[in-house]
Chain A
């Protein structure tokens, strides 16, 4: 028998929330368990605001680059800024991030070079950055497979005597994959310091959540494995930071934590998708009213913690990032076809050497 009591593992009955959509603090009914969560400081919220402004600008610039043919594809995380930025903010430098293709904003906010972070989506590399140097795993396009890697790495980190944490980001659809369930189970059994953050944005490409799961909340998937879980309003930056801080504290003590963040994917799945085929614009409009950035803006202003100057500064920072990204992405990437043969193995097999020579001869003939 486990020493867990199921009720200690269960999420709140409703998502943890601190800010109403108009940015005012909600009353006690809606934030029943918030008292148990550490409150982010004003400075932290000001930092979150700045990062969200920059993150949104990054996102719109990346989408624009797809239209210019500079990115092969871009899955936007517009509307999910509170999740993306809170994730980036709670990570320490020694913690590991296991992102998906929709989490480039979090990676850039974490400090990865934007051009390197976009390598996969630009199409010049599978992973444009050094995972060891950035403590960021390659962006995962199969669903939930990286939750197991995060769990194994977290366990390895604990065995080495560190208190570093691995954070795995996934979406709502990915909670249906077997690997997610195996990862929760392994994380509990091996007491791996891993946090699973499910950004429930309502859709797995076109399939809405109600066709994906009948769970009362995706956070309930934790209790069956002995993993503590919480659900949170993913468009409330205050609640996101509060819950993730708690989750990380729990993980650093050697126990996994599952967070479901309720949010919404404002854009289509990717620039190649047509969302009008499966949802109506009125629904999108309703979620635009729940915009996480506007909510934090109102909240900080009401506390006298955000000036027009602050906003202008954040926007200027976003413009600088976007301009730098445009400039560098407009330059042709350096491509070496022969490098395709590198790093298949530590040392190439004789067969790979033969094939590389064949391609080299082909390339030489094309030049001549």
Chain B
């Protein structure tokens, strides 16, 4: 069997969705003839025609607002924001309109739209091409936010997102576009909102999503050599959030590290940690720790490796989970003063 990349899996998901449902349209910047700057839409215009996959003027608010109107008219648009930070001009359309139209109209109108956002770093991109922007979207009621970490999830989650009756911000980890798996792409028929346990372990729960999942998996492999068993949860869907899978795991292990590439302050990881301590306080043997990007604008490409959460940083966090029953001196009041 030939290995399939995440980029190919996404392309297949678009193809299969367009074949199954003629209301599905793909549009955005450079997605037509070129096939997108990451080639995710490669060949769609050729194979489905310009009516189904087409280039738009270079205006992100325009793309999203126009797509909302098309959704009102019965289509199911899948739009591409070329890069994470280039989606910001569309922020008002996404948060004030796409997210809220169902609620504003008490269910009379809905927006079955997918906004694909290639996001996060690790590819040597220059500034404004590497943002982890998920926190902006997860904070907006009405949006679903999904991020695949495996090749098959890229396929199945995008199919689910396109079929979903609500708007989905589909966040594609750029650095995983070229990751490969020897698999037959298979659609798992379940609604969005289910996390997956990628590795079972009894000592510590690692919660990760998107680009951080491979980091967590590598950390778990390294820890296993030291005799520490890490359980790795791949959230897959940030909204809806799978409290059940996360809390069951943390109650079993009693220890948890949350890994995200985005800056830590007020990020999505903070929400996860808050939920865990609200629900699992009496099961916890140690504070829940976040491993996140620093609270800095995304650095220049030659420095990004120092910014991104690494396997070592995750393992270091695991070490700080008070296995020796000592409080973490770094968090003692005044420790730095």
Q: Which residues does A use to contact B, with CB under 8 Å? A: 125-127, 130-133, 137-138, 142, 145, 147-157, 159-160, 166, 178-179, 182-183, 185-186, 189-190, 342-347, 349-351
Kindly state the separation between the CA atoms of A171 and B191 in the bound complex, as whole angstroms.
42
Whether B105 contacts A149 by the Cβ 8 Å rule is no
Whether B93 contacts A145 by the Cβ 8 Å rule is yes
Whether A182 contacts B61 by the Cβ 8 Å rule is yes
Query: Could you say which residues of chain A place their CB within 8 Å of the CB of B243?
Result: 350-351
Would you call B159 an interface residue if the criterion is a C-beta within 8 Å of the partner chain's C-beta atoms?
A: no
Would you call B334 an interface residue if the criterion is a C-beta within 8 Å of the partner chain's C-beta atoms?
A: no
20 further contact pairs, Cβ within 8 A, besides A186-B56, A346-B110: A126-B105, A131-B108, A145-B92, A148-B69, A148-B93, A149-B69, A152-B68, A153-B73, A154-B69, A155-B69, A156-B69, A156-B74, A179-B92, A182-B57, A182-B59, A182-B62, A183-B62, A342-B106, A343-B103, A344-B142
Interface size class of B (residues with CB under 8 A): 35 or more
Whether B74 contacts A145 by the Cβ 8 Å rule is no
Would you call B97 an interface residue if the criterion is a C-beta within 8 Å of the partner chain's C-beta atoms?
A: yes
Interface of A is mostly: helix
Whether A150 contacts B105 by the Cβ 8 Å rule is no
Can you offer 25 A-B residue contacts whose CB atoms are under 8 A? Answer: A125-B106, A126-B100, A127-B106, A130-B108, A138-B101, A138-B104, A145-B93, A147-B65, A148-B62, A149-B66, A149-B69, A151-B66, A152-B68, A153-B73, A156-B73, A159-B51, A179-B62, A179-B93, A182-B61, A186-B62, A189-B56, A190-B66, A349-B193, A350-B243, A351-B243
Whether B61 contacts A148 by the Cβ 8 Å rule is yes
**Chain A nearest CB, measured from B72 CB (Å):** 5
Kindly state the separation between the CA atoms of A155 and B59 in the bound complex, as whole angstroms.
17
Whether A127 contacts B62 by the Cβ 8 Å rule is no
CB < 8 Å neighbour of B105 from A127, A179, A182: A127
Beyond A126-B103, A149-B65, A189-B57, is A351–B73 a contact (Cβ under 8 Å)? Answer: no
| Total CB contacts across the A-B interface at under 8 A | 138
Beyond A127-B106, A345-B166, is A183–B65 a contact (Cβ under 8 Å)? Answer: yes
**Chain A nearest CB, measured from B135 CB (Å):** 17
Query: Could you say which residues of chain B place their CB within 8 Å of the CB of A138?
Result: 101, 104-105
Would you call B294 an interface residue if the criterion is a C-beta within 8 Å of the partner chain's C-beta atoms?
A: no
Interface string of B67-105 (1 = CB under 8 A from A): 111111111000000000000010011001100111111
Beyond A155-B66, A155-B69, is A346–B166 a contact (Cβ under 8 Å)? Answer: yes
Kindly state the separation between the CA atoms of A190 and B93 in the bound complex, as whole angstroms.
19
Q: Which residues does B use to contact A, with CB under 8 Å? A: 51, 56-57, 59, 61-62, 64-75, 89, 92-93, 96-97, 100-110, 141-142, 144, 165-166, 191, 193, 239-241, 243-244
Kindly state the separation between the CA atoms of A185 and B106 in the bound complex, as whole angstroms.
31
Whether B102 contacts A186 by the Cβ 8 Å rule is no
Kindly state the separation between the CA atoms of A182 and B108 in the bound complex, as whole angstroms.
27
CB < 8 Å neighbour of B106 from A137, A150, A186, A343: A343
**Chain B nearest CB, measured from A361 CB (Å):** 17
Kindly state the separation between the CA atoms of A138 and B239 in the bound complex, as whole angstroms.
26
Query: Could you say which residues of chain A place their CB within 8 Å of the CB of B75?
Result: 156, 159
Kindly state the separation between the CA atoms of A342 and B108 in the bound complex, as whole angstroms.
12
**Chain A nearest CB, measured from B100 CB (Å):** 8
Whether A152 contacts B65 by the Cβ 8 Å rule is yes
Beyond A156-B74, A160-B74, A349-B241, is A343–B107 a contact (Cβ under 8 Å)? Answer: yes
Whether A152 contacts B61 by the Cβ 8 Å rule is no
